[in-house]
Amino acid sequence: MKTEVVIIGGGPSGLLLSQLLNRANVSTVILERATRARVLSRIRAGVLEPGTVQMLHEAGVDERLKREGLEHNGCFLTDDDLMVQINFRQLTGKSVTVYGQTEVTADLYTAQDEMGANIVHEVEDVAIQSLDQTSSSVEYTVKGERKRIDCAYVAGCDGFHGVSRKTIPAAKRREFERVYPFGWLGILSQTPPANEELIYANSSRGFALASMRNKNLSRYYVQVPLSDEPDAWSDDRFWQELRSRLPAETADALVTGPSIEKSIAPLRSFASEPLRWGNLFLVGDAAHIVPPTGAKGLNLAVSDVFYLHQALIDALKRDNNAGIDAYSERALARIWKAMRFSWQMTNMLHQFDGEDSFAARMRKATLSHLAQSETARRELAENYIGLPF
Ligand code: APR
Ligand code: PHB
């Protein structure tokens, strides 16, 4: 088989890249390890930057998003004494859209099906070859049969645990990592959201986040030690802990119900450089991970796709390699700023085990400064709604 771009991984990065390339008449094959049902069962964050919404529009996959997405003009940051509103609309003229990543992924699958896209599920042992030659190839096994696709380029969209990044020789890669000493215990519940806007709470009992998916579906998180198991958290225990971390008024009005999903996610900042190795380009979680505190994971994957789809179209259709030559540097420039924001939000809002009393005062002072200074709020808002591509 032969195609122009082999895309490894059928998560949001791989699907969006394929969709944009197919619309420009670039042929693709997506190789995905999991079944489609499995990919669509993953629950991830749900805040889309305006730039992400625009990209989904350009990809022709925003019909349901326009109907069901919730426009959010701001969010709240709180501690035990203060509640600070960050009004994105007033501070930046822009807003974010709450719409689950799972829904984005489902919409992309539907759109790719309509285009007759080539998506192979349940592939095993993907191996990328001849990356330094004029053309490359990817081998994989499906239903016990070994297959091979020849291609001009390979897009590594296979997430943090994928094979693409590891195909780049270790000596040619630089990795940067910060692992945080806690996780987020998250639940989904069929209850109305605690508040119209998201609340990021830094309480003396640790961090909590009140988020949502729609008018009757809420998403909540509490910071927990990494040693905790979800089973140790009954619904009652979760709701009690959440209440103790939210502002009193919100906690009093909180509507609780059975949890639909309950899991613990570790928090990590990670980046691997460069993003290009010969004909291979890394995209999204394959190249970088951010803690969820700034809601940047999916949005960052989309800005990578923005740079890369243009670059590949220029290379394949216009014989112009300037975009692919600049991809790594351009994408990393934006990635590092989102890494910084996510790290800063994480430090500002969480309790670190064994920290001194000074650390808690620094968090309090940061929030107090945000309450007083429009400049500080604007800086946060500008990052939250997303830096320009
Ligand atoms: N071969 C084929 N597919 C693979 C392989 C492999 N060796 N390894 C992983 N995959 C698939 C996974 O099954 C998954 O469906 O690659 C896909 C990667 O998807 P994600 O992990 O969702 O990564 P990405 O598409 O970059 O999405 C960006 O934004 O909010 C964040 O982490 C969140 O997933 C989100 C990300
Ligand atoms: C979510 O709704 O799952 C969510 C929202 C904002 C975040 C992280 C997760 O920062």
pLDDT tens readout for residues 340-380: 999 999 999 999 999 999 999 999 999 999 999 999 999 99
User: Which ligand lies nearest the alpha carbon of 346?
Assistant: 2
Q: What does DSSP say about strands 5-8 and 217-224: parallel, antiparallel, or unpaired? A: unpaired
Burial class (CB in 10 A: 0-12, 13-18, 19+), 243: middle
Distance, C-alpha 6 to centroid of its chain: 22
181-267+352-384, what's its fold?
D-Amino Acid Oxidase; Chain A, domain 2 (3.30.9)
Q: How far, in Å, from the CA of 23 to the mean position of ligand 2?
A: 30
Whether 155 and 14 have beta carbons less than 8 Å apart is answered as yes
Q: Is 388 a catalytic residue?
A: no
- Give the residue, out of 6, 15, 32, with the most ligand 1 atoms within 8 A of its beta carbon, to mutate for a pocket test: 32
Q: Which of 40-44, 150-154, 202-206, 349-353 has the lowest mean pLDDT?
A: 40-44
Same fold, 5-72+96-177+268-346 and 181-267+352-384: no
Q: What is the pLDDT of residues 59-103, one digit of tens each?
A: 999 999 999 999 999 999 999 999 999 999 999 999 999 999 999
- Which residue ranges make up each domain of the chain? 5-72+96-177+268-346, 181-267+352-384
> Relative to the CA of 283, which ligand 1 atom is closest?
26
The per-residue DSSP string of 344-360 comes to HHHHHH-PPTT--HHHH
For residue 45, pLDDT beyond 90 = no
Cis? peptide before 274, omega within 30° of 0: yes
Q: Is 200 a catalytic residue?
A: yes
Question: What's the CATH number of domain 5-72+96-177+268-346, 3.50.50.60, 1.10.760.10, 3.40.50.9100, 3.40.50.970?
Answer: 3.50.50.60
Quickly state the pLDDT bin for 43 (edges 50, 70, 90): confident
CB atoms within 10 A of CB 388: 7
Given the residues 153, 200, 221, 327, select the one marked as catalytic.
Answer: 200
Residue with structure tokens 């930046």? 92
Structure tokens at 318: 């216009």
For residue 188, pLDDT beyond 90 = yes
Q: How far, in Å, from the CA of 249 to the mean position of ligand 2?
A: 21
Q: Provide the phi-psi class of 124: left if phi over 0, else alpha when psi is between -120 and 50, else beta.
A: beta
Task: Give the C-alpha separation, 12 to 42, whole Å.
Answer: 11
Q: What is the mean pLDDT of residues 195-207?
A: 97
Rounded to 5 degrees, φ, ψ at 111 are -65, -40
Rounded to 5 degrees, φ, ψ at 72 are -120, 120
Q: 295: Cβ below 6 Å to ligand 2?
A: yes
DSSP state letter for 2 = B
For residue 44, pLDDT beyond 90 = no
Task: Give the C-alpha separation, 204 to 189, whole Å.
Answer: 25
User: Which ligand lies nearest the alpha carbon of 43?
Assistant: 2
User: Taking all residues of the chain, what is their mean pLDDT, rounded to a whole number?
Assistant: 97
Q: Which of 86, 16, 83 is nearest to 51 (CA)?
A: 16
Q: Which of 311, 282, 337 is nearest to 157 (CA)?
A: 282
How would you list the strands of the sheet with 259-273, edge to edge?
83-87, 74-78, 198-203, 206-214, 217-224, 174-189, 259-273, 288-289
Q: What is the mean pLDDT of residues 39-47?
A: 91
Q: How far, in Å, from the CA of 139 to the mean position of ligand 1?
A: 19
Q: Is 292 a catalytic residue?
A: yes
pLDDT for position 23:
98
| Terminal alpha carbon distance of the chain | 35
CB atoms within 10 A of CB 50: 18
Q: What is the mean pLDDT of residues 1-17?
A: 98
- Three-state secondary structure call for residue 210: strand
Percent of the chain with pLDDT over 90: 98
Q: Where are the beta strands (DSSP E) in the chain?
A: 5-8, 28-31, 47-48, 70-72, 74-78, 83-87, 96-98, 118-120, 124-129, 136-142, 145-151, 153-156, 174-189, 198-203, 206-214, 217-224, 259-273, 276-277, 280-282, 288-289
pTM listed for this prediction: 0.97
Please give the radius of gyration of the chain, using alpha carbons only, rounded to the nearest integer: 21
pLDDT for position 192:
97
For residue 302, pLDDT beyond 90 = yes
